[in-house]
Structure 1
Amino acid sequence: MKGLVVLFPVLFLFLGSFFGDAAAAQGSKNGVYIVYMGAAASGKGSLRDDHAQLLASMLKWKKNSIIRSYKHGFSGFAARLSAEEAHALSKKPGVVSIFPDPVLQLHTTRSWDFLKIQTDVLIDSVPSPSLNSQDQESDTIIGILDTGVWPESESFNDKDMGPIPTRWKGTCNAGNDNVSFSCNRKIIGARFYDIEDDVVAKGQSPRDMVGHGTHVASTAAGQAVQGASYYGLAAGTAIGGSPGSRIAVYRVCSPQYGCTGSNVLAAFDDAIADGVDVLSLSLGGSAGIVRPLTDDPIALGAFHAVEHGITVVCSAGNDGPSSGSVVNFAPWIFTVAASTIDRDFESDIVLGGNKVIKVFIISFVNPNKYNWGESINFSNLQKSPVYPLIYAKSAKKDDANENAARNCDLDSLAGALVKGKIVLCDNDDDMGSVVDKKDGVKSLGGVGVIVIDDQSRAVASSYGTFPLTVISSKEAAEILAYINSKRNPVATILPTVSVTKYKPAPAIAYFSARGPSPLTRNILKPDITAPGVNILAAWMGNDTGEAPEGKEPPLFNVISGTSMSCPHISGVVAAIKHQNPTFSPSEIKSAVMTTATQTNNLRAPITTNSGAAATPYDFGAGEVSTTASLQPGLVYETTTLDYLNFLCYYGYDLSKIKMIATTIPKDFACPKDSGVDSISNINYPSIAVSSFDGKEGRTISRTVTNVAGNNETIYTVAVDAPQGLNVKVIPEELQFTKSGQKLSYQVTFTSALSPLKEDVFGSITWSNGKYKVRSRFVVSSKSSKSY
């Protein structure tokens, strides 16, 4: 995706070798296969008999072939095998699946303040405890599966924190960095996973040498750091969602090997035994690659983690805005999309004097100023428009293609025509990144670049001291009109400034992956959205490549992606777990989803970055509320039985399901009606119905649990249904008399339209005057596109 390089210019250029399709292909050919053998025999780390026997025979058969062994939360191992050997092993007793070790991708402050402001303004709810209160004490443990951590960051100080929880069973493995890397009462555990399980090479440790993991960890649970900024931008107090929580670091990604599935599974296995409460994974596969659940390392690890009471939060992916691009779509995973906040980074363009333009913007203090650009640059150009401005097409080499020239592609521009000028470049041919265009113009002596890109306009990337800004095609038309009307057009690019209270916000980021789920349309994915654009958080302390010329490496950085939205939800989940320690992972997910908002700071429906109305395929249940989610009133508990039934409905046979699950009733059997349409009936906080026939209709059941106390209360239902769809809820009232009480209801969908012309959306809200519990729904017809 073009936007990935734009979003993370340093991160993805440096790590491009294992975040793209080429890396995925390499991962499938490295000779390592994962042998998944389902549930572990016990929680004490002892190997199951068939696992032990197969492992013993493997060791005799192929010396040094075993890379990893999984034995805590589930059973299996990773080994170097030929395709023929893998096929032979797949026939062995106890083997559920065997698949090549995949290479996964990273999906890579004001945000918490914005979420609180949104909640205060838009939600009329019961007063709730304050999320990320600096004096909040919590023993909740968040496990971060990522690129490691920079422990010296001030975000991870353990000042005023109490003793490490006695239930923590993990370790602090500093590897070859034991001189400087140390854990404390904040970072209470650290592990790392490289391709060789028993060899620790020079430099191998949990230390973050990328920055991504540090950014993620501090967003979820960083301590409050006053005066944080990115070289003066986004200045303020940086703080995580649950600053009182503890952090356990699992470095599963490395520049050498990427984020391999075998490492991810090993981290899941260790984290289950270590005793974490929440697992946060800002990584996943690529859109378009739909593996069976038993071949998906994140889905497998998450299933067993949830069985052990651990909430697993994952990013939805950065392959948006294409439909059906969402990843991490298993129903037991909490899947997070990305949205904007009300802070903008503004890099303005000043054009030369023009009478018409001066009149048009006379209300501005500077009549020649256009508030158009979006980027982070520390331009040292003069503030007055004294630099010649040229459209790149006009600087074309004689032998160059015109399309390549207007896109400022490599070797397409004449240096004599570019030198000393600001160049206006298109960015619509996918031949190079914005950074490539900058470097090309700079090498020819150009003094600045204006890039036209409707998508990346919404995401600020850092270009150091070089004057560069990104505008939309609408603003480009104005600048081109100016260029064409003047014999000697001139301009300048101003250094970036932060703008807060920007409207409208939130909006769904263009890169954020979209539903419907390619696994099944009968589960709505993504589940939720959270801030993921221009997020300030801690960074590794030695990143000279990120530092502008003449500056020290940054202690904080601003980056974007669903990688950044995921830890926002992880922090909220940790706060809910602290507030409601008996909540199961599904009840926590329900608390977040049913209290989400669908309204922006203009009190209008949330839109996408393009301005179109957003749907649950874009944002799931909506944007997270940091207060209402702490006291949800009612919750939907998706039980282990629901997940077992899901596997039945999806097509797995009973023998395989019994091998996979740890907690399975002895008398469990797949329901007689086990078609995929039955997936709609698992007790999920949202409702998705596919292959809908309006005349036949469809009836769906749900059960809610009262978590608001023992006072008697009555909830009444309100339905928001689209035109042409009839939605009837029975009963229309639910009367609760005690805490923990469960009551069920049915929803019947009918329509005179058969088939529906398009997928339609609505909501069902239960309210008792104090709490509002909303479930979003989507109904799609048989003619809807499959992914």
Structure 2
Amino acid sequence: MATPAAAVGAAPAESAPAETAPTGAKVEKSKYGSYVVVMKSDPLSERFQPQQLRSRSANTERNKLKAEQGKALKKAGISNASRKNSYTNAVNGFSVVVSHEKAEKLAGDPEVMAVFPDELRQKQSLPTKSVAGDDQIRDRAGESLRSFLGLQGGKYGTKGKNDKSTRNSLDGRGTLLGVIDTGIWPEHPSFADDGSYEPVALDDETRSSCDFGGSEGDADWECNNKLVGARQMLDTYRSVVGVLPGEFDSARDDDGHGSHTAGTAAGNANVPAWIYDEDRIIDRTSGIAPRAQIVAYKALGSLGGFSSDLAAAIDQAVADGVDAINYSVGGGPGLASADAIAFLFANDAGVHVATSAGNSGPGEATIGGPADLPWVTTVGASTQPRFYSGSIKLGNGRTVKGSSVTLPSEKNLPLVDARNLGNEFCLNEAAVGADAWAQFEQGAEGAMVLCWRGVSGRSEKSLNVMDAGGKAMVLSNVTDDDNYFTDNFRVPTVMVDKSEGDLVAAYANIRNAKATITDTAEIDSFTPAPSMASFSSRGPNPSAESIIKPDITAPGVQVLAAASPAIVGDDYEPGQLFQAIAGTSMSSPVMAGYFLLMDQAHPDWSPAAVKSAVMTSAYQDVRDNDRSTPADPFDFGSGHVSALDKVVNPGLVYDSGIFDFLGFVCGSDARGDILANPDAYCAGLEDDGIATTIEDLNYPTIGVSALAGSQTVTRTVTNVTGKNATFRARVDNPEGMDITVSPSTLKLKKGESKSFEVTITNESAPVNSEFQFGAITWKGKGVSVRSNVAAYPTPFSAPSTVTGSGGSGSVEIPVQVGFSGLYTPVPGGLAENTPLTGTVEQDPDQTFGGCTADQPGVTAVPVTVAEDTAYARMAFTLASEDDIDLFLCSGDEVVAESTAGGTNELIEISQPPAGDYTLYVHGWQVVEDSLDFSVDTWLVVRGEGDLTVDPESAEVSTGDVVDVTASWSDAPSGVSFGVVDHTTDGETYGQTVVQVTN
């Protein structure tokens, strides 16, 4: 079998002679002039065990890899100074800041596997702005986070790392956490060394392993045996962005996010936490794995982080020997990226990775990247019982409760509703204008202001209230299914739901209304917990719908942990040593902490096995963000993380390795972006018995995104009970579906693995409606191993595209049907290319101004779509510095667009309505004075062309497979397209595009 790294990368261009520069290959243009280059040969993690990565022999091989990277730069005519990062451990490659033309030269090198445009990713906390002893804790009503998660004082029957006992209270000792984030505040008590931690050496000093000091406000600091290292990993960021005002040019945290995630996962136990006043201790904080040690990697600046720097941080973390990585970082979905590939090899090196699902919920299909990857653990956010509350005492004697960690307000402040001041959302002067701001100032002066959510950030509103002379704020949600936040506001603040906001507003409309904020930072209970956070991103997974995402949910609201007292742009929110904030950034380190505990308990388990243990032991009693409706697998994945005793002893695990994940890639839309020669490589995997369909990846949950009648998937489990055991399958059928498991009983010896098949059949669920959810649970003595199931019933399942060649020929299209009746395949085409031509000039402001030709840098070309057009395709590719975008309009409406970096544009529309359209060709970047263009265009009409199908129709029953043969005898020269529409009763429910090259 080929090595994993030999598979990864886009297919290289044809080799050039060694003495010449490499031939250029198409690369998507970077918005930032930065690219990540992946080399063909293996990274060191594929040749050495993690503990060997700093050996003399590994360093020798590392230097060889760097020399190969240098040769690639030299052949492309690129100065070595353009190389910003070099990767050798989890990825073999480098990043460069170069022109698009030079990037394409690199891509043509036969030793280069892929060149990716750099991406800018962001932290995944919910933004607050638009860009002592137990006797001091006053109320202990709510469960602490560790108590809620079942981590307090538990004894677990397993032998852990660095522990001679056979009954070990797991606390993370002997494990190392890598936090890739905004840096860390090293003086924080959560990261203090009490003298009892064992030393950990970070041998690699190619960059400072304890990077503090050297700039204003950045004190020198020596790392200790708790915070064993802190590296700045911002090479590309510093090159492209620089050091912005307020940023530390070191590993010091200038945001608070990195300190918070580190503290949540592995902060010291029982640290007194105060906000605003050192004498006002509101609670105690503990990391999930409080005895774990930490290495911080600052790979995010105040504007975000480049994937090239993030990949460098992953690469460095693998070399440093971390056991788990927390990655509360994300961007748009997509399986092909620098950090995605780095995590693939980090997984193979045994590193557990927790990442945030994203904060774009509660809408469907809002999972971002790299959360869409199956080789990382994707964590949603939900509420916890512990609730930091505050009260608004109204002048009429009524008390309204909400959330707060601020100080109380002055007594009996005038109460005003911002809606009555003409500034409902408490925006600043620049947003509302001088006159409106003057009105707002007049009403807010000395008052408590009721502000409403929307338009601007939460903390920004408190700053605006303060700037207007206000003394306190009530911040109201505009629905009753959002979350209660506890930001460190600029003025005393209580946040409430809409129903509570309406009560405050009603009283504020009374003359001489007054109110007082009191009893802030009280510890109460939130009875609907756990319920999903409204912001938590939901499935289905946009990159691979059959992989259920998120994987699991954990607390991510009002999470109290470390912060930074020096925040970039701290006008919005004052820097404090602690904060109780929200986001999937906050839930991800909870899972990272679990991974450390599991690594302590089972140091020989793979990341996939540990992930399986966490997922299959999860519990289902979670509500949606409305706090009443049960959540489903696209909200919480496998469920809510369980108490540790269940996670440590899961009974069975679903294990997977790097070749299994490459098999997943074979079945994904990214196979051509990630794999070199995917057809040959994937065929090799199949020959070795590796599944190459997404549905058959050995994942702890089961998804079928296109269930046409019936589908069978295969899973393999391993007995980890430590003894021989028998397990029996229990099935919870999805609505209108039937699940069968074969065999339904598994008798497994200690450590033995066996496979089973799961057949899902649609019996009565309506097709093309919605996913249906069920579960399979393996029951054994003392264990319950649950796999959630999601299936989407469809009338047809068929390939989206098939390809053929020659003037005459045929292709086979296997079509599975999910109904009983008459199936009719309807052909159209083959249609030849009819290019749309013209000339376009540079758009001075690079902004498409809508569907009108009356703007510079835009050329309009009319397009007529005839009746019965089944498929429209427009493609425009240039291997040059020009960047041309396409917008297809119907009247004033943009119906389709393509705005890829560089000029690699494609618009596809299935079943477009007949009518007159306009294709607007936009000159986002035209290098010369003007550019002559030719947009390849195919309009496939049913009944036109000589494409035929056999059979022309068939009586079918649910689950039947019809082998349709699409044939042609007189294909146009060049590339032509046809379609086969899959219909029943005159309705089209699916389409297969037929591409023919003659």
Which TM-score band (shorter chain)? 0.7 to 0.9
Q: Among residues 386, 407, 410, which one is paired with 1:343 in the alignment?
A: 386
Q: Among residues 249, 254, 259, which one is paired with 2:301 in the alignment?
A: 254
Q: Among residues 192, 197, 214, which one is paired with 1:157 in the alignment?
A: 192
What's 2:614 paired with?
A: 592
Task: Answer 1 or 2: which has greater helix percent.
Answer: 1
Distance 2:525 2:74 in 1: 64
Q: Among residues 743, 751, 754, which one is paired with 1:743 in the alignment?
A: 754
Pairwise CA distance, 1:370: 2.2
Range with greater deviation from structure 2 (199-208 or 773-782): 199-208
The alignment status of 1:329 with 2:372, answered yes or no, reads yes
Distance 1:782 1:616 in 2: 19
Distance 1:480 1:149 in 2: 41
Check the 8 A contact 1:387/1:490 in 2, yes or no.
Answer: yes
The alignment status of 1:40 with 2:62, answered yes or no, reads no
SS in 1 for 2:535: coil
Q: Structure 1 residues 170 and 574 mapped into 2: Cα distance closer, same or farther (>3 Å)?
A: farther
Check the 8 A contact 1:125/1:770 in 2, yes or no.
Answer: no
Equivalent residues, number? 710
What's 1:183 paired with?
A: 223
What's 1:147 paired with?
A: 182
SS in 2 for 1:642: helix
What's 2:638 paired with?
A: 621
What's 1:379 paired with?
A: 408
Distance 1:164 1:59 in 2: 45
For residues 693-736 of structure 1, the C-alpha deviation after alignment (integer angstroms, 9 at most, x for no partner) is 2xx211111111011112x3221222222331211122222112
Q: Structure 1 residues 210 and 394 mapped into 2: Cα distance closer, same or farther (>3 Å)?
A: closer
Q: What one-letter code is carried by the residue in structure 1 that aligns with 2:272? A: G
Q: Among residues 706, 709, 713, which one is paired with 2:722 in the alignment?
A: 709
SS in 2 for 1:142: strand
Check the 8 A contact 1:161/1:186 in 2, yes or no.
Answer: no
Check the 8 A contact 1:252/1:264 in 2, yes or no.
Answer: yes
Check the 8 A contact 2:73/2:80 in 1, yes or no.
Answer: no
Q: Structure 1 residues 198 and 426 mapped into 2: Cα distance closer, same or farther (>3 Å)?
A: closer
Q: Structure 1 residues 680 and 252 mapped into 2: Cα distance closer, same or farther (>3 Å)?
A: same
For residues 729-784 of structure 1, the C-alpha deviation after alignment (integer angstroms, 9 at most, x for no partner) is 2222211232x101222211112235153111122111113011111111123489
Distance 1:633 1:699 in 2: 24
SS in 2 for 1:573: helix
Q: Structure 1 residues 129 and 631 mapped into 2: Cα distance closer, same or farther (>3 Å)?
A: farther
Check the 8 A contact 2:170/2:600 in 1, yes or no.
Answer: no
What's 2:578 paired with?
A: 556
Pairwise CA distance, 1:682: 0.8
SS in 1 for 2:684: coil
The alignment status of 1:640 with 2:670, answered yes or no, reads no
The alignment status of 1:274 with 2:320, answered yes or no, reads yes
Distance 1:238 1:749 in 2: 46
Q: 1:289-368 to 2 correspondence within 5 Å?
A: 289-291=332-334, 293-294=335-336, 296-327=337-368, 328-353=371-396, 368=398
What's 2:488 paired with?
A: 462
Which stretches in structure 1 are left out of the alignment for 5+ residues?
A: 1-26, 354-366, 600-604
What's 2:82 paired with?
A: 65
What's 1:730 paired with?
A: 742
For residues 596-629 of structure 1, the C-alpha deviation after alignment (integer angstroms, 9 at most, x for no partner) is 1122xxxxx4332554321111111111124111
Q: 1:415-434 to 2 correspondence within 5 Å?
A: 415-428=441-454, 430=455, 432-434=456-458
Q: What one-letter code is carried by the residue in structure 2 that aligns with 1:349? A: I
For residues 50-106 of structure 1, the C-alpha deviation after alignment (integer angstroms, 9 at most, x for no partner) is 944643515854352211221222211111211122122222213222122211101
Distance 1:145 1:380 in 2: 38
What's 2:588 paired with?
A: 566
What's 1:721 paired with?
A: 733
Pairwise CA distance, 1:137: 6.5
SS in 1 for 2:727: strand
For residues 659-710 of structure 1, the C-alpha deviation after alignment (integer angstroms, 9 at most, x for no partner) is 99xxx9999334699998x3111100111111112xx211111111011112
Q: Structure 1 residues 440 and 94 mapped into 2: Cα distance closer, same or farther (>3 Å)?
A: same
What's 2:706 paired with?
A: 691
Q: What one-letter code is carried by the residue in structure 2 that aligns with 1:538? A: A
Pairwise CA distance, 1:283: 0.6
For residues 542-575 of structure 1, the C-alpha deviation after alignment (integer angstroms, 9 at most, x for no partner) is 56987999x9x63322222111111110110011
Q: Among residues 53, 60, 78, which one is paired with 2:95 in the alignment?
A: 78
Check the 8 A contact 1:380/1:495 in 2, yes or no.
Answer: no
Bigger Rg, which one: 2
What's 1:364 paired with?
A: none
Which stretches in structure 2 are left out of the alignment for 5+ residues?
A: 1-28, 49-57, 126-136, 801-998
SS in 2 for 1:394: helix
What's 2:13 paired with?
A: none
For residues 392-433 of structure 1, the C-alpha deviation after alignment (integer angstroms, 9 at most, x for no partner) is 33334xxx999999xx956536244444443333334x2x33
Q: Among residues 542, 558, 563, which one is paired with 1:518 in the alignment?
A: 542
Distance 1:492 1:241 in 2: 37
Q: Structure 1 residues 163 and 726 mapped into 2: Cα distance closer, same or farther (>3 Å)?
A: same
Q: What one-letter code is carried by the residue in structure 2 that aligns with 1:472? A: D
Task: Answer 1 or 2: which has greater strand percent.
Answer: 2
Q: Among residues 776, 790, 802, which one is paired with 1:778 in the alignment?
A: 790
Higher-RCO chain (CA-CA 8 Å, sequence separation at least 6): 1
Check the 8 A contact 1:509/1:533 in 2, yes or no.
Answer: yes
SS in 2 for 1:458: coil
What's 1:475 paired with?
A: 500
Check the 8 A contact 1:764/1:775 in 2, yes or no.
Answer: yes
SS in 1 for 2:792: strand
For residues 332-371 of structure 1, the C-alpha deviation after alignment (integer angstroms, 9 at most, x for no partner) is 0111111111122222222233xxxxxxxxxxxxx62222
Distance 1:64 1:719 in 2: 60
Distance 2:733 2:281 in 1: 41
SS in 1 for 2:92: strand
Distance 2:501 2:773 in 1: 36
Pairwise CA distance, 1:317: 1.3
User: TM-score scaled to structure 1, two decimals?
Assistant: 0.81
Distance 1:85 1:112 in 2: 57
Q: 1:193-272 to 2 correspondence within 5 Å?
A: 193-195=233-235, 204-230=249-275, 231=277, 235-255=282-302, 258-272=304-318
Q: What one-letter code is carried by the residue in structure 1 that aligns with 2:486? A: A
